[in-house]
């Protein structure tokens, strides 16, 4: 077994002889714009080693140094690629961009013993890294994970830990699912009831939903929480320092009952509704009045001020049409706008958001239902009901992020032995299936332009059955480690057996980081 067990597998790994041994006398040499990553490396090494290594612009040392340098000569590896050389006297990371230096640092950390991820020294570790030459760059630009903090609120401390875990895996996109029927989780100053009312539900369904209302049981425990705008700024900045972009999702026109509970005029009946206590596809959806579109654009004004992300997610999934069919106002709206049906009414809603976002230099992204009734001109599609939506959108010249449920829904069970798994949403998605996912489907692979519309892929962590950070970690790992290899590693370098060989060392890293992974 090679000593070099990096996840995700780099493009090229050439082991050489010997070890670099880190000692308290080492220095980090990081001139100019490399300094920030140099400081991050010093901070990453300090807790577990107890060594507070100085970060300097230059050094006359000939041994015991770690050099970080920005180098345009490596621009062929892109801004996220890097070259990492470990020799007995010296470690060197070179990259054309800061993100590349950061990823070189992640690979270097994984060359040291897993104890390097602990929060304090154990006292008896020799900090050896095997000598090697690594050249590396990601396969896809969108390497993501989604987290639903709406079905169950996740504390900010866990959101920050989750971002650290993305960075460890060289993932660069955090899709923050902030609004749902069961809770609205982001402070919007113009509409305070969204969190005063919408962030709290009276209680939560126990177990699985039953068609028979009499069989449904609730826990009687108030649940909720939200992120203040300062919390959001902190999370976004924390992620940015780790080269992770935060894509906020504000659901519309469906999955909106919490917002309608706060502002009943956004709904179709004018009657008060509660923040939902149970899961599923709920018929209560926003109406498509101009005032509602303006309300959501008012929400977006604050969202755009908080999130620098080019992509803004507007949901768009699972919009039952029954309330619009029954509503005289919505039927009049369809006629007034010259639309054919309720699908076109939904498309109209999304198009208004597309215009709004495009005018502000942003790009709309939504779940694949936004294809129904006609795709908005500048929209990017996140394909979750398999790949069909993604293939259709890419064929029509739109960008796509692959998120098919059968490969990337990490809330699905990891084993068919349900007696020994936590209560879940059902379905079965083993580690090997996640690992085997190929984001470019055969229908697109023959045409480079179409294939190029696939920006990448991401994992989904829906939290109906994931009530705590521990349960999120259990479902996420090690499958998210497998997904990291799907989106980073060249297809021809992927090898499930080899991945399993590297996994025990990686699980030791996750254990050091107190991640509640599932033993494979």
Residue 236's CB is within 10 A of a number of other CB atoms, namely 21
Q: How far is the CB of 97 from ligand ACM (least distance, A)?
A: 32
CB 373 within 8 A of CB 345: yes
Q: How far is the CB of 382 from ligand ACM (least distance, A)?
A: 8
User: In terms of CB distance, is 197 or 483 closer to ligand ACM?
Assistant: 483
**Among 234, 317, 372, 495, which residue sits at the site for ligand ACM (rule: CB under 6 A)?**
317
Q: How far is the CB of 148 from ligand ACM (least distance, A)?
A: 9
Show contacts with ligand ACM in window 375-434 (CB under 6 A).
Answer: 384
User: In terms of CB distance, is 317 or 495 closer to ligand ACM?
Assistant: 317
User: In terms of CB distance, is 318 or 498 closer to ligand ACM?
Assistant: 318
The residue count for binding ligand ACM (CB under 6 A) is 4
Longest dimension (CA), the chain: 80
Show contacts with ligand ACM in window 358-377 (CB under 6 A).
Answer: 367
Beta bridge pairs of residue 210: none
User: In terms of CB distance, is 317 or 341 closer to ligand ACM?
Assistant: 317
Q: Is 200 in the site for ligand ACM (CB under 6 A)?
A: no
User: In terms of CB distance, is 64 or 390 closer to ligand ACM?
Assistant: 390
Rounded Cα distance, 445 and 243, in Å: 29
Q: Which residue is nearest to ligand ACM (CB)?
A: 317
Instruction: List C-alpha distances in Å: 247 to 172, 314, 452, 480.
Output: 10, 10, 21, 18
Rounded Cα distance, 79 and 95, in Å: 7
Q: How far is the CB of 458 from ligand ACM (least distance, A)?
A: 12
User: In terms of CB distance, is 318 or 344 closer to ligand ACM?
Assistant: 318
Q: How far is the CB of 367 from ligand ACM (least distance, A)?
A: 4
3-state SS string for 280-325? CCCCCCCCCCHHHHHHHHHHHHHHHHHCCCCEEEEECCCCCCHHHH
CB 179 within 8 A of CB 195: no
Looking up tokens 């999702």, which residue turns up?
249
**Among 203, 234, 283, 318, which residue sits at the site for ligand ACM (rule: CB under 6 A)?**
318
Handedness of CA 4, 161, 177, 212 (dihedral sign): positive
Binding stretches for ligand ACM (CB under 6 A): 317-318, 367, 384
């Amino acid at each position: 077994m090679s000593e070099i067990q990096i996840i995700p597998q780099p493009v090229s790994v050439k082991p050489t002889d010997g070890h670099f041994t880190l000692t308290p006398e080492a220095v980090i040499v990081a001139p100019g714009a490399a300094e920030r990553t140099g400081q991050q490396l010093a901070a990453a090494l300090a807790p577990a080693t107890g060594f507070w290594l100085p970060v300097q612009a230059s050094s006359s040392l000939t041994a015991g140094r770690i050099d970080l340098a920005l180098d345009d000569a490596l621009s062929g590896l892109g801004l996220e690629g890097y070259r990492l050389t470990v020799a007995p006297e010296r470690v060197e990371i070179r990259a054309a961009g800061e993100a590349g230096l950061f990823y070189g640092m992640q690979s270097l950390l994984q060359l040291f013993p897993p104890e390097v991820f602990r929060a304090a020294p154990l006292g008896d570790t020799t900090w050896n890294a095997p000598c090697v030459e690594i050249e590396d760059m990601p396969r896809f630009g969108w390497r993501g994970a989604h987290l639903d903090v709406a079905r169950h609120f996740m504390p900010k401390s866990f959101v920050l830990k989750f971002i650290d875990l993305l960075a460890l895996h060289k993932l660069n996109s955090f899709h923050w699912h902030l609004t749902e029927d069961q809770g609205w989780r982001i402070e919007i100053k113009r509409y305070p009831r969204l969190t005063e009312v919408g962030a709290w539900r009276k209680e939560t369904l126990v177990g699985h939903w039953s068609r028979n209302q009499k069989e449904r049981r609730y826990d009687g425990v108030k649940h909720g929480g939200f992120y203040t705008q300062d919390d959001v700024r902190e999370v976004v900045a924390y992620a940015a320092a780790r080269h992770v972009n935060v894509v906020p999702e504000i659901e519309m026109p469906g999955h909106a009952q919490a917002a309608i509970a706060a502002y009943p005029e956004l709904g179709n009946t004018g009657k008060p509704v509660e923040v939902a206590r149970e899961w599923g596809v709920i018929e209560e959806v926003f109406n498509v009045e101009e005032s509602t579109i303006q309300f959501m654009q008012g929400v977006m004004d604050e969202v755009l001020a908080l999130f620098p992300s080019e992509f803004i997610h507007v949901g768009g999934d699972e919009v039952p049409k029954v309330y619009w069919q029954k509503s005289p106002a919505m039927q009049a709206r369809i006629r007034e706008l010259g639309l054919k049906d309720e699908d076109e009414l939904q498309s109209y809603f999304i198009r208004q958001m597309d215009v709004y976002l495009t005018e502000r230099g942003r790009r709309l992204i939504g779940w694949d239902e936004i294809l129904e009734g006609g795709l908005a001109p500048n929209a990017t599609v996140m394909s979750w009901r398999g790949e069909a939506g993604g293939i259709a959108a890419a064929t029509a010249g739109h960008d796509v992020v692959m998120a098919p449920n059968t490969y990337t829904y990490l809330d699905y069970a990891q084993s068919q032995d349900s007696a020994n798994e936590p209560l879940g949403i059902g379905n079965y998605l083993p580690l090997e299936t996640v690992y085997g996912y190929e984001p470019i489907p055969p229908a697109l692979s023959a045409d480079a332009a179409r294939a190029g519309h696939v920006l990448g892929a991401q994992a989904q962590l829906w939290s109906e059955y994931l009530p705590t950070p521990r349960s999120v970690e259990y479902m996420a790992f090690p499958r998210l480690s497998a997904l990291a290899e799907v989106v980073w590693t060249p297809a021809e370098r992927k090898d499930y057996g080899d991945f399993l060989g590297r996994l025990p060392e990686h699980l030791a890293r996750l254990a050091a980081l107190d991640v509640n992974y599932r033993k494979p």
